[in-house]
Structures are given as structure tokens and as C-alpha cells.
Chain A
């Protein structure tokens, strides 16, 4: 199984400031045949289902604000929120969909400082 490790577990950022979450996979999720990273980011708020934010490591899902961006390749990935808004308070998960079981990171809880 591919193990996904996020850091930090908990992050407090001031409104308007940048939030950065890291995700590392135990093996590469980059397919050389198509140069795509099989890595997604989800936002999860209490009482709601997870919401897809980013796929292919850097492609923003339709309707997701452009303050959310994803980067990285191979085994190291980053989710960045450029200017934190109150509605961004949530848990964030990375997930690899390269090979089953499609494992998630342990999650990062993001709060307002």
C-alpha cells in the first residue's frame, strides 16, 4: 500500500495569510507514460462530505476559488491557500489514486489564528 503522510497535523493561520500543507507519498504517484501525478486534495467540514479541491496534483476542480493551488510531483506535494478566508476552516486530506487501496493522508486541521 502507498502510505500518505501529511504535515502538519494542525495548522493555525491568520486571516488573509498563506496556509501551506505538505503531503508525501511512500512511493511515486507519477505515471511517466502520461506525466500525470495521481494525487488529489479534499476539504472536509463537519457534517458534510469531503469536497474535491484539486486533482492531478495541480488541477483545480470547477468552482474552487483560485486561492487554492496544488503543486509537486513524484512523492512530494503541497496544497497552498494564498489568503485564508473564514470559510476555509476545515480538515484537509491528500489522497493517491494511483493504485488501490486509494489511501488518504491522516489529515490536517486548519484553523484561524
Chain B
């Protein structure tokens, strides 16, 4: 059973870069069966898919965030990362990482991290 755990600063200043890491255990980040995914939920709002990264480094991003998002995989540390630049208060949210299992060309989010709250404030 793949397990995931987010880590990173809980407070980021406006205009700076939000950086989070998701450590994978119980499975390999190099698995060809997963897209490694980030999802967020602003307070009082719904879930928003941010994007995903494959073991090869191939990425897909939400068009609403693509100009500010970078995701990457680090096989040596068995983790993947999210960077979101030029943050504003609107980026305050609980950020989840998830393992998206690739099945018949679809990506099903079976496994999730516990989530980490990131607040954007000066």
C-alpha cells in the first residue's frame, strides 16, 4: 500500500514561492503505474487538481495555474515536489499529494497524503 506524506513551510509570504515535497513509502516513485499528483482545497471551497508528474518527469498542469507551477520527481529520495511561484492569499489552502494509479488510461486517486496547510501572509 503506497503511503504519502507532505512536508514544507506552513507560511509563505506574498509574491514568494511555495515549495512542498511529498515523500512516498511502500512503493517506488519510479513506478510506471502512477502519476504523482497535487490537489488543493482553499478554506471553505472545493477540491482543485493542480497537476501531476510521471516518473519520466512528464507533467500535466491545471491551465489556471500552469504559468506558476512546476512539479518534479526525485528518484534518489523517493519523493516528488511542487513549486508555485508568485503566491497570493488566494493560494492559501490545504495541499494534498496523491498517488494516481493509471488504469485503462485513466488516473484514479487511491492514495492520499494527510494534507498540509499553507498560508500566504506577510
Minimum Cβ distance to chain B for residue A43 (Å):
12
Residue interface mask B24-44, A partner, CB < 8 A = 1: 000000000000000100000
8 Å CB contacts to A: which residues of B65-90?
Answer: none
20 A-B pairs with C-beta separation under 8 A: A36-B106, A38-B106, A40-B108, A49-B96, A49-B115, A50-B112, A52-B109, A61-B110, A93-B47, A95-B109, A97-B100, A97-B106, A97-B107, A98-B106, A100-B49, A101-B64, A102-B107, A104-B49, A107-B46, A107-B47
Q: For the complex, is A66 an interface residue (Cβ under 8 Å from B)?
A: no
Q: For the complex, is B62 an interface residue (Cβ under 8 Å from A)?
A: yes
Minimum Cβ distance to chain A for residue B54 (Å):
12
User: How big is chain B's contact interface, by range?
Assistant: 20 to 34
Q: Is the interface of B mostly helix, strand, loop or mixed?
A: strand
Q: Would A34 and B48 count as touching, CB distance under 8 A?
A: no
Q: How far is the CA of A60 from the CA of B64 in the complex (A)?
A: 32
Minimum Cβ distance to chain B for residue A90 (Å):
13
Residue interface mask B97-122, A partner, CB < 8 A = 1: 01010001111111011110000000
Q: For the complex, is A24 an interface residue (Cβ under 8 Å from B)?
A: no
Q: For the complex, is A70 an interface residue (Cβ under 8 Å from B)?
A: no
Q: For the complex, is A105 an interface residue (Cβ under 8 Å from B)?
A: yes
CB closest residue in chain B, given A40 = B108
Q: A102-B49, A107-B46 are in contact. Are A34 and B108 (CB under 8 A)?
A: no
